[in-house]
C-alpha cells in the first residue's frame, strides 16, 4: 500500500484499535501489548523531531495510544499538516540512537504499523465475537 493510503487511513486505524480496547479486547497475550506503546512513542518522536510538534506521553502500556489520540485530536490540523509535510520531504533526517535516518521512512513505517495493528485487532474482535477459544496457554 502506498504511503498516502496509510496516511489517509491513519485516524481510522487508531480509532479501530481504541474501540476494540474500549470493548474489552485483551491485548496482554499478544505482541501488540509490547509493540503498540513502543510504536506510539516512536511516532511521537518522529512528529516532535521531524515537524516540531509537542507530543508528550506520560502513560504506560497501551494507554499511550489513547493519550496520543487525545493530544492528536486537540491539535489535529497542525498534526495532519506536519504528517503531510514529512511525507513530502524526501531529504529530512532525524537522529535516533542508531544514527540518522530518513524522517519520511520512519513515519511511513509507523503508519504501516497502525494499519497492520488495526487489521489484527479486527481479526481478534471477529474471533472473539464468534466464540473462538483463546489462543494462548493460561486460559
**What is the count of structural domains for the chain?**
1
Sorting pLDDT into bands at 50, 70 and 90, what band is 138?
very low
Range of the domain at 85: 3-127
pTM summary value = 0.87
pLDDT tens digits along 36-53: 999 999 999 999 987 788
Average pLDDT score over residue span 119-126: 93
Domain membership flag for residue 31: yes
Specify if 139 maps to a domain: no
pLDDT > 50? residue 17 = yes
Q: Which three cell numbers stand for residue 4?
A: 498516502
Residue 133 covered by a domain: no
Q: Is residue 91 part of a domain?
A: yes
Whole-number pLDDT of residue 93: 85
Q: Which three cell numbers stand for residue 18?
A: 481504541
- The answer to whether the beta carbons of residues 122 and 18 sit under 8 Å apart is no
Amino acid at each position: 500500500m502506498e504511503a498516502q493510503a496509510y496516511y489517509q487511513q491513519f485516524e481510522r486505524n487508531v480509532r479501530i484499535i481504541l474501540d476494540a480496547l474500549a470493548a474489552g479486547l485483551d491485548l496482554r497475550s499478544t505482541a501488540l501489548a509490547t509493540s503498540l506503546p513502543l510504536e506510539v512513542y516512536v511516532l511521537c518522536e518522529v512528529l516532535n523531531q521531524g515537524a516540531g510538534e509537542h507530543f508528550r506521553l506520560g502513560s504506560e502500556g497501551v494507554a499511550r495510544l489513547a493519550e496520543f489520540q487525545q493530544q492528536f485530536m486537540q491539535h489535529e490540523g497542525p498534526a495532519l499538516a506536519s504528517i503531510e509535510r514529512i511525507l513530502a520531504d524526501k531529504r529530512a533526517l532525524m537522529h535516533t540512537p542508531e544514527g540518522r535516518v530518513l524522517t519520511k521512512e520512519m513515519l511511513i513505517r509507523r503508519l504501516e504499523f497502525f494499519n497492520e495493528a488495526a487489521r489484527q485487532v479486527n481479526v481478534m474482535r471477529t474471533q472473539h465475537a464468534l466464540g473462538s477459544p483463546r489462543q494462548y496457554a493460561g486460559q
